[in-house]
Amino acid sequence: MTATHIPAGALHLAVALDGAGWHPAAWREPDAQPDRLLTAAYWVDLAQQAERGLLDFVTIEDGLDLQSDDHFSRDERTDRVRGRLDAVLIAARAAPRTRRIGFVPTAVTTHTEPFHTSKAIATLDYVSTGRAGVRLQIGGRTDTAAHFGRREIPPLSVERRDHPDVQALIEQHFDEAADYVEVLRRLWDSWEDDAEIRDVATGRFIDREKLHYIDFEGRWFSVRGPSITPRPPQGQPVVAALGHAAVPYRLIARSADIGFVTPRDRAGAAKIVAEIRAEQARAGRADETVHVFGDLVVFLDDNAAAAAGRRERLDELAGGPYSSDAQIFAGRPAQLADLLLDWREAGLAGFRLRPGALPHDLAQITDALVPELQRRGAFRTAYPAGDGSGTLRSLLGLPRPANRYAALATNERV
């Protein structure tokens, strides 16, 4: 067997999967597959392609409202992809068809119960044999709240984004998300690792003393526990969040294992990383690993002119230039490798690449960018081998956390 080679300081790489790609006209590309978007086979194919590129994980976009070009309200466009499958269920279907790549579906914290999400992600961790995570997302649109009828969210707009009332509402949403993570983590720990006895002779399936009430009482949630799902294989599946400003950076620093950020250049990346590290220290997590990934939308081709031309052609089909919260890169894979290695010096642990069009740009990442990074000694040439190396946490260099309730029980017995 060929020895696994993981270069020192190697990059982590992930891809963000969304419909036919991140460009709104991607579904009209000649090699696009709009008739397969709502099939399991489509997502399995994408995950297997990403795994062939030895990527760390895929994220899967989701939401509780129809996609819209307007971030604050629904639009009425009919020339865009509208409608999607549930991200957690996609991951649960695709994970058994892969062996090493991680799955990090999106969950909306604003309108879903953490108890439901905890058991869904724990189940995904079992289905994937320890390769699950979850990306937390805020659902702050008025029309989204109307689907549930449990709270009212005032209309938001770009013009009012900096208004004190709007900023206070945003802080509330992210404080709620922080409590959401705390409930998830407590529920994942509510079963000790050896709570299942499965002793046929004595008729004992579980040790009831190793199941724990979490008794969480907060502003938004009151959860007694324990979970109905035993502790996941990873102990704690990976928690991720996307951040663009100080409030979400605080959530990343205090509650997440991975933060996705959107710098525009190396200096911007360094500033964001420093802000997150400072928040980590204030939260008492300075010694814990919190990976910061840079997000980029990518259009890749064998030559830069072809990549730029393809983006321009898609813009024409879409009726206007595509814009994004993340930096948009159009060029050759070697040029993207230059950028990634330059931004890495700002302290980024890796990158989450958003393919402009699927499957084209995903194939360019796995078949051209990855080999280029390997030639430069900046990316693995195989997944790690050996016992305990098959989980997403181990792939990311994250330890398996001790069970908080087991530690308390031990102390009480002593």
- Would you say residue 58 lies in a domain? no
For the residues 132-144, what does the mean pLDDT come to? 85
- Would you say residue 6 lies in a domain? no
For the residues 338-346, what does the mean pLDDT come to? 98
| Dihedral sign computed on CA atoms, order 216, 242, 279, 337 | positive
Q: Which two tokens stand for residue 3?
A: 């020895």
Q: Are 263 and 269 in contact (CB under 8 A)?
A: yes
For the chain, the domain total comes to 1
Could you tell me where the DSSP H helices lie in 141-218?
142-146, 164-189
Task: Tell me how far apart the alpha carbons of residues 282 and 46 are, in angstroms, rounded to a whole number.
Answer: 39
Q: Which of 355, 378, 305, 127 lies closest to 370, judged by CA? A: 378
Mean pLDDT of the chain: 92
Identify the CATH number of the domain in which residue 160 sits: 3.20.20.30
Q: How far is CA 184 from CA 75, 121, 220, 366, in A?
A: 33, 9, 14, 33
Q: How confident is the model at residue 1, as a pLDDT? A: 33
Q: Which of 183, 181, 174 lies closest to 249, judged by CA? A: 174
Adjacent-strand bridge partners of 133: 238
- Would you say residue 68 lies in a domain? no
Q: How confident is the model at residue 414, as a pLDDT? A: 36
Q: Which of 187, 215, 221, 225 lies closest to 113, judged by CA? A: 221
- Would you say residue 330 lies in a domain? yes
Q: How confident is the model at residue 67, as a pLDDT? A: 87
For the residues 118-129, what does the mean pLDDT come to? 98
pTM of the model: 0.94
**Could you check whether the bond before residue 105 is cis, i.e. omega within 30 degrees of 0?**
no
Tokens 């579980």 belong to 206
The pLDDT of residue 123 is above 60: yes
- Would you say residue 74 lies in a domain? no
For the residues 214-241, what does the mean pLDDT come to? 96
- Would you say residue 352 lies in a domain? yes
Burial 281-294 (b: 16+ CB within 10 A, else e): eeeebeeeebbbbb
For Cα atoms 333, 363, 64, give the angle at the middle one, nearest 5 degrees: 110
Sequence-ordered list of residues with C-beta below 8 angstroms from that of 223, at least 6 positions apart, any chain: 114, 115, 183, 186, 187, 214, 216
DSSP 130: S
- Would you say residue 72 lies in a domain? no
The pLDDT of residue 410 is above 80: no
Q: How confident is the model at residue 150, as a pLDDT? A: 72
pLDDT digits (tens, 9 = 90+) for 384-401: 986 566 999 999 999 999
- Would you say residue 359 lies in a domain? yes
Q: Which of 324, 261, 265, 268 lies closest to 293, judged by CA? A: 261
pLDDT digits (tens, 9 = 90+) for 166-222: 788 889 889 999 999 999 999 999 999 999 999 999 999 999 999 999 999 999 999
- Torsions phi, psi of 125, nearest 5? -65, -40
For the residues 349-364, what does the mean pLDDT come to? 98
Q: At what angle do helices 246-255 and 266-282 cross, to 10 degrees?
A: 50
Tokens 């089909």 belong to 317
Q: How confident is the model at residue 259, as a pLDDT? A: 98
pLDDT digits (tens, 9 = 90+) for 14-72: 999 999 999 999 999 999 999 999 999 999 999 999 999 999 999 999 998 888 887 77
Q: Residue 390 is part of which domain span?
A: 12-18+34-51+83-413
DSSP one-letter string for 318-349: HTS----SSEEEEE-HHHHHHHHHHHHTTT--
Q: How confident is the model at residue 411, as a pLDDT? A: 54
Task: Tell me how far apart the alpha carbons of residues 246 and 317 are, in angstroms, rounded to a whole number.
Answer: 36
